[in-house]
Structure 1
Amino acid sequence: MQDAFFKLDPRDGFVVTDANYLSDFDRQVLTYLYQPLMGTGAYSLYLLLWTQQSVAQKAQPHSTLLALLNVDLPTLYESRIRLEALGLIKTYQQVNAAGRTFTYELYAPQAPNAFFNDDLLSLLLYDAVGEDRFTQLKTQFRLHPVHPSADLEEVSLNFLDVFHVNSQLLNHLPATIAEAKSEFKTQPQTTQPQLDQRATADFDWPFFKQQLHASFVSERELDQYHDQLLTLHALYGLNELELAQYVNESINITTNKLDFPALKRLVARQPAKVAPTTASTAVPTPAPPTATKDAALSKNDQQLIAVSKQLAPVTFLTQLKQQQGGYVTDSEQRVLERLMSRHVFADASIINILSHYVISVRKMPTLTQAYVDGVANGWLQHNVTTPEAAMQEVKSFYRQKQTPKRNTRSKQPIRKETLPDWAKDGYKAPKQQVTAEQRAAVQKRLAALQDNKDGE
């Protein structure tokens, strides 16, 4: 996740504040229900931020977190965005002359009853721990309220039976109490992921139930699985007839109940049946975008956008991998499911452009959670809200790749070597006039050398 180094710096400051009261029971929920979804890194980061609330007024550098967690910067950044996606923290940024400071606002995990009623969280937990462990966790956190019966009578006293309050004070509360009520007014929390209605607007629910009138599953049971079934529709692109067929094949004949885990496995095992390839919906072969800054999209880009709008994310990825001789892995399906569950992109076609970018442009063999999260965060910070804007982000990658790097080395002065005359082509030694005195001196030296030679 190279993008992490642009989004976060060890010198950036951070402070921690809390939006909810956190209790020991919240720690249990976090450990057993959330930790399988977020991983040990994000789990450790949340617990560490929990302990930092006492020093929330003074900013600390992120190098403190890196040292305490003994992790690198990309791991810390990935852990943070996982907590954001699960609604456990909100991140705020402030930039001034002193530098950049992040404020991490902690939220309590959802109560178990809300967690198990949230279809997206339940699906992620089921995928992470399996059916047996999921059943154990469901039993562990199930409440056991008393159900009054003919031989069981409640004899509890109410508040006013025990405590006596001045009625005049109730009619005219002191100003301090009114001020406290205003300060502690509960605000609705909307940070948890919810099923995006825009992704399921094209699904006719009454028509879907009509196709199952002759089956053993009841309408009431279908309504109980409403969000889970619509999630399968949005993720795999199933229409009403196809989904009804898979539901029929997933009914437990012993109990006449819908076996939803079996339905998920059935849909995931049949990508060829779910994702038929036609000429009009074939993913076009990627062509390198031009390196210009022109906002106009090429014909190939427009064709890719058109196909991405027609196919569901798993369908699109299946065809893309098939064209390259590969197949969609189980982990890739979970990557797409988690990305959709966060609802970071209103249009599912943007997810298809992202898959095309990772597989066809960056030439990566598979979608990985860390890399997809990094790309998605980068696009969000560049306000990518349409597939056209996503294509512009892909084109910008090509521009950066094709821009020649500037040579930062300073130019050294060129030193010209001057050749001596004797080394030049066509050199002729100049003739010199020898005087009689010079000739006599040479003859004398030659005679001396001859005498030395004779004496040896």
Structure 2
Amino acid sequence: MQDAFFKLNPRDGFVVTDANYLSDFDRQVLTYLYQPLMGTAAYSLYLLLWTQRTLVQTAQPHSTLLALLNIDLPTLYESRIHLEALGLIKTYQQVTAAGRTFTYELYAPQTPNAFFTDDLLSLLLYEAVGETRFEQLKAQFRLHPVKVSADLEEVSLSFLDVFHVNSQLLSQPPATIAEAKSEFKTPGTTTQPQLDERATADFDWPFFKQQLHASFVSVRQLDHYHDQLLTLHALYGLNELELAQYVNESVDITTNKLDLPALKRLVARQPTKVAPTTATTTTTETNVAATKDLSQNDQQLITISRQLAPITFLTQLKQQQGGYVTDSEQRVLERLMSRHVFADASIINILSHYVISVRKMPTLTQAYVDGVANGWLQHNVTTPEAAMQEVKSFYRQKQAPKRTSRNKQPLRKETLPDWAKDGYQAPKQKVTAEQRAAVQKRLAALQANKDGE
């Protein structure tokens, strides 16, 4: 993942701060619920940053993290963006004359109640650990409040039954208390991933539910799987009628409930199709300006990317190279679509083309795709034209000549002797009669000495 070297440098400084209180129970939630999603490297990075927040807030180089975790820079960057995507940290950048410094703001993981009721997080965990382990985790974190019954009476005392507070101070609290109340007020913001409403732009949800009105699936179930169904629509290019048909075929007849894993397997087995062009593919003035810098082949690729759903596009791309789409690649695209980070699904097709055809990688991997997508988001890529420009800009930076230092001494040019050059021939010299006679005289003397021995 060479993109990481453009986003992060071992000499860049970092400081750590916390936005929430972190407890030992948060560590358990992080270990059992989040670690299967983020991987061991990101898990270790979060725990290390957790310890760093207690130190003096002076910037340290990222080389410290690399040494403590014993990982390379791309792995560190991939781990960071995984934590960002899961809402566990927020990253802020400051550039000064002294260099670049990142501030990592730590957030506590979601409570188990919030985690299991969130469609995106629970779906990712289900796919990561499987149904059996998922049920075990649900049982592990399920609360068991007391069920009130006729023979069960609560005898707990209230706060004022036990503690006595000065009524005058209660009506007019001191200024110090008011300041503390203001400083410790918790902002009402959420850190978990949210569904982007742009995914519903080309899908008529009420019409879709109407097609299932006479089926065994309840409206409540459909609303519960709202995000996952929209992800399948965008990923495979299914319209309302097609998706309704697949839902009908995936209902468990014994329970009359939708079997989501069976639905995914059914959709994945169907032949790929061309997705209808949506309103998001209309060319704006910005797109026209961006297209001027693109070649005819680039524009043709963008046109095709707008016509095909991501799975269809990747399937044809792999078939051209004699390969096939793996199950893990389908999950990679599904996870990317479920986050709804790109309003235009054709951007995902450009990303797939970049990884498979340009970078010559045999398969799409979760870490690499997340790294590229995160980088494009940071550069405000919202159209396939902008995605193509981002790819070209990256390669222009790589091919740019490196600047040499002014203090660098010029290299001394070594010259080869004539005898070491290709095609060298020794010069011919004329031998005089005197030189020939001298040589013969010395040879005769040598021969006489040899005979006398």
Distance 2:246 2:100 in 1: 52
**Worse-superposed segment, 83-92 or 336-345:** 336-345
State the shift of 1:215 in Å: 1.3
Gaps in structure 1 of 5+ consecutive residues? 282-292, 418-422, 432-437
> CA offsets, 1:102-150, max 9 Å, x none?
2111100001111111111111111110011111111111122223233
Change (3 A) 1:346 1:206: closer
Match of 1:380 in 2: 377
Say yes or no: does 1:300 pair with 2:297. yes
**What is the one-letter code of the residue matched to 1:412?**
K
Deviations 1:372-428 (A, max 9, x none): 2332233334332221111112333554677788999848387997xxxxx889x99
- How far apart are residue 351 of structure 1 and its match? 1.4
Report SS of the residue matched to 2:101: strand
Separation of aligned partners in 2, 1:404 and 1:172: 70
Write the deviation string for residues 154-207 of structure 1: whole angstroms up to 9, x where unpaired.
Answer: 333333333333333233221111111110111123332111110122211111
For 1:385, what is the secondary structure of its paired residue?
coil
Kept in 1: contact 2:228–2:338 (CA 8 A): no
- After TM superposition, the structure 1 stretch with the greater mean CA deviation from structure 2, 248-257 or 150-159, is 150-159
Q: Matches of residues 325-364 of structure 1 in structure 2 within 5 Å? A: 325-364=322-361
Instruction: Quote how far apart the aligned CAs of 1:306 are.
Output: 2.5
Question: What CA deviation, in whole Å up to 9, does each residue of 1:267-318 have, x standing for no partner?
Answer: 2333x2xx2259999xxxxxxxxxxx99522333222223323333223222
Matches within 5 A, 1:131-142: 131-142=131-142
Once the two structures are TM-superposed, the CA of residue 342 in structure 1 deviates from its matched residue by: 4.0
SS of residue paired to 1:20? coil
User: Per the alignment, do residues 364 and 145 of structure 1 end up closer, same or farther by CA in structure 2, a change over 3 Å counting?
Assistant: same
CA deviations 1:193-239 (Å, max 9, x no partner) are 11111012221111111111221112222222222222222222221
Which stretch shows the higher mean deviation, 62-71 or 399-408? 399-408
Distance (whole Å) between structure 1 residues aligned to residue 229 and residue 360 of structure 2: 33
1:320 Cα deviation from its structure 2 partner: 1.9
1:140-159 superposed matches below 5 A: 140-159=140-159
> So what's the TM-score if we normalise by structure 2?
0.83
Paired position in structure 2 for 1:183: 183
Which residue of 2 is the match for residue 103 of structure 1? Answer: 103
Does the alignment pair 1:309 with 2:306?
Answer: yes
Letter in 1 for 2:72: D
In 2, Cα distance between equivalents of 1:243 and 1:229? 8
- Bigger Rg over Cα: 1
User: CA–CA distance in 2 between the matches of 1:56 and 1:87?
Assistant: 25
User: Residue 3 of structure 1 contacts residue 374 of structure 1 at CA under 8 Å; is this kept in 2?
Assistant: yes
Aligned positions, number: 425
Q: How do 1:84-99 residues align onto structure 2 when only pairs under 5 Å count?
A: 84-99=84-99
Q: Quote the offset at 1:9 in angstroms.
A: 2.4
CA distance in 1 between counterparts of 2:71 and 2:40 reads: 12
In structure 1, C-alpha distance between the alignment counterparts of 2:397 and 2:57, rounded to whole Å: 41
Q: Quick check: 1:58 aligned with 2:58? A: yes
1:244-259 maps to which residues of 2 (within 5 A)?
Answer: 244-259=244-259
Measure how far apart 1:151 and its partner are.
Answer: 3.1
Gaps of at least 5 residues in structure 2 are 279-289, 419-425
State the Cα RMSD in Å.
3.5
1:332-368 deviation digits (Å, cap 9, x = unpaired): 1222233334444333221111111111222221111
- Cα offset, 1:56, TM superposition: 4.3
- Sort the Cα spacing of 1:402 and 1:166 in 2 relative to 1 into closer, same or farther, 3 A: closer
Aligned-partner Cα distance in 1 for 2:382–2:276:
28
Asked if the contact 1:199–1:348 (Cα under 8 Å) also holds between the matched residues in 2, the reply is: no
Map of 1:390 onto structure 2: 387
Question: Which residue pairs with 1:48 in the alignment?
Answer: 48
Q: Distance in 2 between matches of 1:207 and 1:405?
A: 58
Q: Secondary structure at the match of 1:101?
A: strand
Q: Secondary structure at the match of 1:54?
A: coil
Helix, strand or coil at the partner of 2:16: strand
Q: Which residue of 2 aligns with 1:72?
A: 72
Q: 1:31 to 1:415 in 2, by over 3 A?
A: closer
Distance 1:8 1:395, change over 3 A: closer
Q: Which residue of 2 aligns with 1:161?
A: 161
